[in-house]
């Protein structure tokens, strides 16, 4: 009799648990990403584009002037740059597309590169500054090696050039998955409290900077919670087995590497290695931040990027000899001020 009661209890608990998971998934699927808005409150216009394999995505294309192309990380939404696109659209033409969610049979990492090529061709853009965050930085690197003539400059934010688990420890194997689960599958109020706890530990995408609430909002309403894990995981899987580091020395375009010193997701050592391998790179730390510096401290991030873009514009009007001399004399080139800032 006792065994039967335990069995019945197990069945009821299993059914209740499955129902709860389904309800949470329905809630997550129903979440609507906040619109990216100008400072006036007007939403940025959203357009649609269909790739050659039939996959449709949304993108924004606003502003005029030199072109800045933004590539999100593995979560994939253009809204990850909600604090950058409106600001830079005041001085530049900014383009940012959602990352694809499905892949044709036999697709590999170069599918991301081909997607970007198709979109730029359709928009008749011949060259641009390409800006990638996290996985987006790897896509930017690959694009720069395949289409060097189209790269005016390269910005790599909390970058990676190879999937590696050499730095895996307790945080990565236990606490980070726990942070993901509690962010995605608990009631919103509970998830927010847990996210604040993870922020103090600097886990996953969270950090304990002054802008941590913006990062929590992103996790709860824009990125990880609204993108099924199977989608973001598959995007990352396409990079596994590839090592983009040997090609870095062939990228001649000016580059900026932006790093959050508290990032445990993509370690500081990765950013330093990438900076050192690029022939013409500058390395900048955004203090107090982790994996998503552009969200937790957008003011500092935007200021650093604006300064570098201004320098890039100045260099483009210099004779080649002056450009070479200026690069060699730059104390920040090749990460001479690396410091982990931690």
Q: DSSP secondary-structure letter at 26?
A: H
Mean local confidence (pLDDT), 303-325: 74
Q: Supply 169's token pair.
A: 């420890």
Does 320 score more than 50 pLDDT? no
CB-CB neighbours of 198 under 10 Å: 24
Is the pLDDT assigned to residue 73 strictly greater than 60?
Answer: yes
Q: Does residue 341 have a pLDDT over 90? A: no
CA distance 202 to 71: 24
Paired with 284 in beta bridges are 258
Q: What's the CATH fold of domain 47-164+241-329?
A: Rossmann fold (3.40.50)
User: What one-character-per-residue DSSP string does 226-282 give?
Assistant: TS-HHHHHHHHHTTTT-B-GGGGGG--S-EEEEE-TT-SSS-HHHHHHHHHHSTTEE
**Mean pLDDT lowest for which of 116-125, 218-227, 282-291?**
218-227
From start to end of the chain, where are the E strands? 47-50, 56-62, 67-71, 93-97, 128-133, 151-157, 255-259, 281-285
- At 303 the pLDDT is 98
* Edge-to-edge order in the sheet of strand 151-157: 47-50, 56-62, 93-97, 67-71, 128-133, 151-157, 255-259, 281-285
Percentage of the residues of the chain whose pLDDT score is greater than 70: 80
Q: Looking at residues 190-202, what average pLDDT do you find? A: 91
Q: Assess whether pLDDT exceeds 60 at residue 325.
A: no
Cα–Cα distance measured from residue 231 to residue 143, given in angstroms and rounded to the nearest whole number: 22
- Measuring CA to CA, how many Å separate 153 from each of 117, 252, 312, 320? 16, 9, 8, 16
pLDDT over threshold 60, residue 209: yes
> Residues 218, 192: contact at Cβ < 8 Å?
no
Q: Is the pTM of this model over 0.95?
A: no
Confidence category of residue 227, pLDDT binned at 50, 70, 90 = confident
- The residues facing 42 across adjacent strands are none
Query: Rounded to whole angstroms, what are the CA distances from 103 to 20, 49, 112, 129, 332?
Result: 30, 16, 10, 26, 40
**How many CA atoms lie within 13 Å of 147's alpha carbon, on the beta-carbon side?**
22
Instruction: Considering only the C-alpha atoms of the chain, give the largest distance between any 2 of them, rounded to a whole number of Å.
Output: 90
Among 93-102, 189-198, 225-234, 236-245, whose mean pLDDT is lowest?
225-234
- Give the pLDDT confidence score for residue 294 in this predicted structure: 96
174/8: higher pLDDT: 174
What are the pLDDT digits (tens) for 253-310?
A: 999 999 999 988 888 999 999 999 999 999 999 999 999 999 999 999 999 999 999 9
Tokens of 35: 């619109």
pLDDT, tens only, 38-67: 988 899 999 999 999 999 999 999 999 999
pLDDT tens digits for range 97-118: 999 999 998 899 999 999 999 9
Task: Compute the average pLDDT of residues 182-206.
Answer: 89
pLDDT of amino acid 176: 82
Residue-level pLDDT at 328: 42
Is the model's pLDDT at 335 over the cut of 70? Answer: no
In the chain, what are the domain boundaries? 47-164+241-329, 170-232
């Amino acid at each position: 009799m006792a065994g039967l009661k335990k069995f019945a209890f197990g069945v009821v608990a299993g059914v209740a648990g499955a129902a709860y998971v389904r309800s949470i998934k329905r809630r997550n699927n129903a979440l609507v990403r906040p619109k990216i808005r100008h400072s006036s409150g007007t939403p940025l216009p959203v357009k649609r584009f269909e790739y050659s394999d039939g996959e449709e995505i949304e993108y924004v294309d606003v502003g005029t002037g030199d072109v800045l192309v933004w590539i999100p990380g593995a979560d994939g939404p253009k809204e990850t740059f909600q604090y950058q696109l409106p600001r830079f659209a005041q001085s530049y033409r900014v383009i940012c597309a959602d990352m694809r969610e499905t892949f044709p049979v036999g697709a590999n990492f170069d599918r991301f590169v081909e997607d970007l090529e198709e979109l730029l061709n359709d928009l008749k853009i011949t060259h641009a500054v390409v800006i990638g965050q996290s996985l987006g930085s790897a896509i930017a690197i690959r694009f720069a090696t395949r289409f060097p003539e189209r790269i005016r400059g390269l910005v790599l934010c909390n970058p990676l050039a190879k999937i590696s688990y050499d730095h895996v420890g307790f945080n990565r194997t236990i606490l980070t998955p726990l942070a993901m689960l509690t962010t995605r599958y608990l009631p919103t109020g509970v998830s927010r409290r847990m996210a604040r706890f993870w922020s103090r530990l600097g886990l996953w995408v969270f950090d304990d900077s002054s802008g941590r609430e913006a990062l929590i909002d992103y996790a709860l309403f824009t990125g990880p919670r609204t993108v099924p894990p199977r989608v973001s995981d598959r995007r990352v899987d396409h990079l596994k087995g590839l090592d983009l580091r040997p090609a870095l020395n062939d990228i001649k375009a000016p580059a900026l590497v932006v790093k959050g010193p508290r990032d445990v997701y993509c370690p500081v050592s990765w950013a330093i290695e990438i900076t050192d391998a690029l022939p013409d790179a500058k390395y900048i730390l955004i203090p107090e931040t982790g994996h998503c510096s552009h969200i937790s401290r957008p003011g500092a991030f935007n200021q650093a990027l604006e300064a570098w873009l201004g320098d890039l514009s100045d260099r483009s009007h210099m004779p080649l000899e002056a450009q070479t001399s200026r690069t060699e004399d730059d104390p920040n080139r090749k990460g001479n001020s690396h410091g982990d800032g931690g």
